[in-house]
Structures are given as C-alpha cells and as structure tokens.
Amino acid sequence: MAAAPPAEQGSEDEAEGVLLYYCYAPARLEHQQQQQLAEWFEGTLAAQQLRGRVRVAADGINVTLGGRIAALKAHMQQLRALPLFQSCDIDFKLASSGGALSDQVQAETGFTTLQVRQCKVRSTRR
C-alpha cells in the first residue's frame, strides 16, 4: 500500500500512526498469564484493526503497532486499565505517519498483519 495523503488539520485521530512501548512486568509472568495476555492482545488489537508486532514474555511486553491514531489512543487507555499494568509506568511513543513509502517497506516492517507471540524474553538484541 503506497503512502497515504497527509491528514487534514482537525482529523488527527483519523490519520495513521505508529505506537511503540514496552513494559517490564511487576512480577514474573507465569505461562498461563502470558497466554491470557497474548489472547487479550489478539482480540483487542484485531477488533481495533491495528497491526504490527507484540511480544509477550515472562519479563514483560514489547509492542510496535500501526493504525488509526484514534484506535492507538484507545488501545493505550485499555492497556492502562488492565490491573497487571496499572503499576507499570509505560512510556508510550505515539507518532503520526503518512504511511509506508512502498509496499516493500510496509511488508518489511510488519505493518501488514498483526503478530502476537509468546517469547522467552520481551526483546531481542541484533
């Protein structure tokens, strides 16, 4: 999908954006908690038509999402409401985006689908 035209002033919530955040779990997440959290992410993010990558691990979560700004903001509120993350000081990074430069870039960045994975650690080093 090629780049979308820039959003008009006043329609910021309908514009496309990118949301990045991570959070260390206050206590180590057991396998069942990780599974429940992954299912929650899959259900809520799919319902909001958000796409990107979510890593759920025993030590926390790492999330990179794309979609409408309004849906990204709604997701932030839903996550803050979860008892598990109420004590977590999440530094959300939200930015507007004109869209991918090309179909190839969009595919390479993972913003064509939603991937929720249970992992051993919440992030990897490259």
Angle between helices 69-81 and 31-47 (to 10 degrees): 150
Q: Are 60 and 22 in contact (CB under 8 A)?
A: yes
Its pTM stands at 0.80
User: Domain holding 67: CATH number?
Assistant: 3.30.70.100
Q: If we measure between CA atoms, which residue out of 37, 30, 33 comes closest to residue 55?
A: 37
Which pLDDT belongs to residue 80? Answer: 92
Residue 112 lies in a domain: yes
Q: Determine contact, residues 75/91, Cβ cutoff 8 Å.
A: no
**1 inside domain:** no
Look at the chain and count its residues: 126
Total domains in the fold of the chain:
1
Supply the range of the domain harboring residue 29. 14-118
User: Does some domain include residue 72?
Assistant: yes
Per-residue pLDDT of the chain (126 residues; tens, 9 = 90+): 344 444 444 467 788 999 999 998 878 889 999 999 999 999 999 999 999 999 999 999 999 999 999 999 999 999 999 988 888 889 999 999 876 667 776 666 667 889 999 987 655 554
